[in-house]
Amino acid sequence: MTRSQPRVAIVTGGSGGIGRAIAERLAADGMSVVVHYAGNAERAEKTAKAVTGRGGSAVAHPADVAEPDQVRTLFEEAERRFGGVDVVANTAGIMLLAPVAEFDLADFDRMHRTNVRGTFVVSQEAARRLRPGGALINFSTSVAKLAHPTYAAYAATKAAVEAMTLILARELRGRDVTVNTVAPGPTATPLFLNGKSQETIDHLASLPPLERLGRPEDIAETVAFLAGPARWVNGQVIYTNGGIV
């Protein structure tokens, strides 16, 4: 690949929220983008059209991130359409909340399948296919260290993501591929806001010293840094939360 050719990014969960902001930001940085989605084709197509409408290159493609054959096809589509894969921003995930004593184990298994197995399957394929100079960015949560009540099951899945990410960074020694995790704090997305009272939202917005919720664009900024110039940042968990401790 010559330097005149654009880099190529796959954004899992790219149809909305943080994923869409990342897809649009990476495209603005000149990358061709594959917008992955699990179920909502219309939203994914809107994201792709938002990119192409600004002169970028994007295509939407479905996959169940927990199914290796479907993830393999996702990567093959990126290679077929754009020539290879340089960046994977792995935002796909679900969040289900309840106290440990009340948590439904079927919900736990469903969340584990997407957040842990799904991240592992995508990371596995990324490890096999990312080109030199590439970057894999997985997603955790600041709650993994903040330990808010009702978040135990969700935080447990994200702690697993952190562990596999840090180990994979070391396993890819000599490949010139970075592997990092972004751990957002409270961010104003439909996934985060769903089911929360205004009182709860206001409280969470007051926690950072900057006294606001994060925006999807804030998280996309960090991903763009890791996907592009941050070649000396590797094997790290980047807490992107406005200073919550």
Residues annotated as part of the active site: 154
Q: Which residues are registered as beta bridge partners of 168?
A: none
Hey, is 79 helix, strand or coil? helix
Q: Which residues are registered as beta bridge partners of 28?
A: none
The Cα 65–Cα 55 span in angstroms is 28
Q: Looking at residue 6, what DSSP letter applies?
A: P
**CB distance 85 to 129 below 8 Å:** yes
Q: Looking at residue 116, what DSSP letter applies?
A: I
